Amino acid sequence: MDHNVNNLIEIEKEIQLKILENNNIIKKPEIIAVSKTFSVSDILPVINHGQVHFGENKVQEALEKWESLKNDFKHIKLHMLGKLQTNKVKHVIKLFDYLHSLDNIKLAEKISLEQKKYNKKLKIFIQVNIGDEDQKNGISVDQLENFYKKCIHELGLNIIGFMCLPQNNDKTSFYFSEMNILTKKFSLSELSMGMSNDYIEAVKNNSTFLRIGSKIFGKRI
């Protein structure tokens, strides 16, 4: 069996075990196989295993790999995970199904405008700067309510949840817990958090989308 598929199966087993141990987990999270920098030959066995959700960070790389793949595998759901520039929005709307990195009003306005042209709505996560870190993108917690309301009521965006990228340190569990609370407060159903090094902690805090790359595909060169 393909090495990447073996890795994915082990992750699936680990998550299932954690769910059985914890009665507070609301629903089983989806795994996003983060395939940035990896080739179609790396991805195909994972698709054939039954993996539906894949993530990319760069628009140009995604276009080169996924335009043909999505034609061949129409059930695939593609997630834009990286920072998105406004001049790339039209490409993301055409190719992707989800955006995890909405982090400013200018981008929100551009998405709203372009979606009308293509008659397609992305499923969008607002990126939250949960640790209030100067070097991180994202909407601060104190600005989140106003930003969310503008996106929903004025721009008509399909905001399905929140996303975070906290530092991987002894506060990770605390930040995941805070994100879980925020998501419930806004009555949103989706929460994107947890990567290869902390996805089990994210599962315990009701993440619904786990962004796992190196634990499936190996280290990036």
The residue with tokens 């969008």 is 124
Residues 6+ away with beta carbon under 8 Å from 12: 31
CATH of the domain at 135: 3.20.20.10
Residue 59: CB atoms within 10 A of its CB come to 20
Q: For residue 77, what are the CA distances in angstroms to 47, 73, 80, 122, 207?
A: 11, 9, 10, 11, 18
Q: pLDDT of 135-149, one tens digit each?
A: 778 999 999 999 999
Looking at residue 24, what is its pLDDT?
85
Q: pLDDT of 51-96, one tens digit each?
A: 999 999 999 999 999 999 999 999 999 999 999 999 999 999 999 9
Q: What is the dihedral of CA 157, 110, 118, 76, to 10 degrees?
A: -70
> Containing domain of residue 144, as a range?
3-217
The pTM assigned to this predicted structure is: 0.96
List of the chain residues with pLDDT < 70 = 221
Q: Which two tokens stand for residue 166?
A: 């906290």
* 8 Å CB contact between 151 and 145: no
- The C-alpha atoms of residue 177 and residue 209 are separated, in whole angstroms, by 15
Per the structure, the count of domains in the chain is: 1
- The C-alpha atoms of residue 164 and residue 136 are separated, in whole angstroms, by 10
